[in-house]
Amino acid sequence: MTRLSVNINKVATLRNARGGNLPDVEQFAVDCEGFGAEGITVHPRPDERHITRADVRALKEIVTTEFNIEGNPEPAFMDLVLEVKPTQVTLVPDAHDQLTSNHGWDTKAHFAKLTTIIQRFKNVGIRVSVFVDADAEMVEYAAKAGADRVELYTGPYAEVYDKDPETAINMYRAAAEKARDLGLGLNAGHDLNLRNLKAFVTAFPWVDEVSIGHALIADALYLGIQETIKQYRYALSNSN
């Protein structure tokens, strides 16, 4: 079954808006695991507008499932990841002022850079996933660069799905099948939600992991975090 990793960035955003430690990001991560999440994802940014470097260090000590750190592999980010040694690092080509991830790597144009970065992380036992658009060639060059997995940017999937589910799925078929054929692990997550998640992992049952934050936390405002995780896991478990 595809695993669910909960991205807790938005919990840190709420905490930072007021100062102090409410909500408690560490306790929230522990509770998510207790409610059935099989991983915790964070995306620390240089301005620390949500998850901070101190959060990352603290979470490493308490997360008992898989710990996934996302971000642009600039020197400060790389130093933090190499220090913390999470289960997985997801390389994302975000600009400093970017609100949220909205495109994947051009793995062909950045092949040499990515090859060097990926090897540094793999040398210390960190699994490496590369964030890419739904483009089979980008998947292929991620594999050539040494990535263990790719994460498909599913923003366009979510945008099209409500109007035309079949087209939305077909937009991702070549890339997902290329990852499978090359022996790459496959992740997804951006803008996946309770409306469109089941269809995606039913079409591509070899997806290893979905990391979901914004939609999941928004659902939790109405359902509560325990019930929300239950419903996301139900969608994943009933997808095949």
**Residues marked as catalytic:** 43, 70, 190
Tell whether the torsion through CA atoms of 71, 42, 103 and 112 is positive or negative. positive
Report how far residue 205's alpha carbon sits from residue 208's, in angstroms, rounded to the nearest whole number.
Answer: 8
Report how far residue 22's alpha carbon sits from residue 175's, in angstroms, rounded to the nearest whole number.
Answer: 41
Report how far residue 80's alpha carbon sits from residue 86's, in angstroms, rounded to the nearest whole number.
Answer: 10
Query: 3-class SS at 16?
Result: helix
Report how far residue 240's alpha carbon sits from residue 236's, in angstroms, rounded to the nearest whole number.
Answer: 8
| Contact residues for 83 (Cβ-Cβ < 8 A; gap 6+) | 57
Q: Is 100 left (phi over 0), alpha (psi -120 to 50) or beta?
A: beta
Q: What is the largest CA-CA distance in the chain?
A: 48
Per DSSP, the chain holds a count of helices (H) and strands (E) of 11, 8
Query: 3-class SS at 112?
Result: helix
